[in-house]
A = this chain, B = another copy of it.
Amino acid sequence: MPHRTVYFVSDGTGITAETFGNSILAQFPTKPRHVRRPFIDSAEKAYAVVREINETGEREGKRAIVFATLVDRDVLKIVRDHCLGRVLDMFGTFIEPLEEEFEVKSNHRVGRFSDVARSQEYHDRIEAINYSLAHDDGQSSKNLDIADVILVGVSRSGKTPTSLYLALQHGIKAANYPLIPEDFERGKLPASLAPYKRKCFGLTIDPERLCQIRNERRPGSKYADLMNCRYEVNEAEMMMKRDGIAWLSSTHKSIEEIATTILRDLRPDRLIY
């Protein structure tokens, strides 16, 4: 299969170009090859990278895509004037207008990331990760009062990845609690969750899909059996309905989509990250 290459060209680490480029490329089914070229901070390096990009385009028969975060106007000009790839200039397009609006230089222009590792926000994020790990899969019912959200659902409905994502990306303390056959027999939510119903959010899943996922893990088990999956999913949904717990189906959703929906429902109008 012929390749198509995307370059991330930066006079810094290229992390910004990459993060930005990925959020755009995620919109496409295409899976191009990624090449990062950091520290392009002189005319000489600019000409070298332009040569490389042009040669790649020629070899592949399609011009390369170039995400650029170049502060130095001279370097950018060389890339703009000589590069045969499609240059998408993040700086000129979005960062500069925002620098005007905020009346402050971006971290990139300052030449480094701000020292986020010392900020309160970062500290809270690390705490959220520790919290979510300690409260994965119902491991602990201590400190549920400080949870931002408690995910509930049958085993393998997507609770763990979603909790970790909420913690890592949004600094949300996300506990998660499996709903198991014993809960269904009692016909009640686990007792430790009862005081925190308003923080609970349910994940459900199509039984056929659940059966498939569980069979990868424990092939041929009762746990993975389709009839059992149907029973568990049905019981879990009835329980959530009875207890007024909002839920969504993870069957066709990515972790990002599940997390975004949960955030929206928990905190309308406001996304903290």
Query: Which A residues have a C-beta under 8 Å from some C-beta of B?
Result: 4, 13, 15-16, 18-20, 22-30, 33-36, 62-63, 65, 86, 88, 90, 93-95, 97-98, 101-102, 104, 106-108, 113-118, 122, 126, 129-130, 133, 136, 160-161, 164-165, 168, 250-257, 260, 264, 269-273
A64–chain B nearest beta-carbon distance, Å: 9
Chain B residues with CB under 8 Å of A129's CB are 160-161, 164
Contact, CB under 8 Å: B22 / A257: no
Q: Which of A4, A35, A102, A107 gathers most chain B CB within 10 Å?
A: A102
Among the listed B36, B101, B250, which residue makes an inter-chain contact with A65, where contact means beta carbons less than 8 Å apart?
B101
- Whether A251 contacts B117 in the complex (CB less than 8 A), given A36-B264, A86-B101, comes out as yes
Query: Could you tell me if B271 and A34 are in contact, using CB atoms closer than 8 angstroms?
Result: yes
Task: Give the one of A23, A27, A101, A136 with max B CB within 10 A.
Answer: A27
Pick the most buried of A18, A130, A136: most chain B CB atoms within 10 A of its CB.
A18
Asked whether B101 lies within 8 Å of A94 as measured between CB atoms, the reply is no
> When the two chains form their complex, are residues B161 and A104 in contact, meaning their CB atoms are under 8 A apart?
no
* Min CB gap A157→B, angstroms: 12
Copies in the complex: 2
Q: How far is the CA of A114 from the CA of B25 in the complex (A)?
A: 13
CB neighbours (8 Å) of A108 from chain B are 27
Query: With A97-B88, A129-B160, A250-B117 in contact, do A106 and B28 touch (Cβ < 8 Å)?
Result: yes
Q: Least Cβ distance of A169 to chain B in Å?
A: 8
Residues of B within 8 A of A107 (CB): 26-29
| Beta-carbon contact of A26 and B19 below 8 Å | yes
Given the complex of chains A and B, what is the CA–CA distance between A29 and B33 in angstroms? Answer: 32
Chain B residues whose CB sits within 8 angstroms of the CB of A94 once the complex forms:
24, 88, 93
Give min CB distance, A17 to chain B, whole Å.
10
Cα-based distance from A113 to B252 in the complex (angstroms): 9
Instruction: Check B13–A257 contact: CB distance below 8 A.
Output: yes
Q: Beyond the given A86-B98, A164-B168, please list 9 additional residue pairs across the A-B interface where CB-CB is below 8 A.
A: A16-B23, A18-B260, A19-B26, A26-B107, A28-B106, A29-B107, A35-B270, A88-B94, A133-B160
Bound Cα distance A29, B114 (Å): 8
Q: Select which of B18, B22, B257 is within 8 A of A113 by beta carbon.
A: B257
Q: What are 5 A-B interface contacts by the 8 Å CB criterion?
A: A18-B271, A19-B23, A28-B107, A88-B94, A117-B252
A29-B101 contact given A117-B250, A133-B160, CB 8 Å threshold? no
10 closest cross-chain pairs (CB), A and B: A27-B106, A116-B254, A34-B271, A19-B23, A30-B102, A20-B23, A23-B23, A115-B252, A129-B161, A15-B260
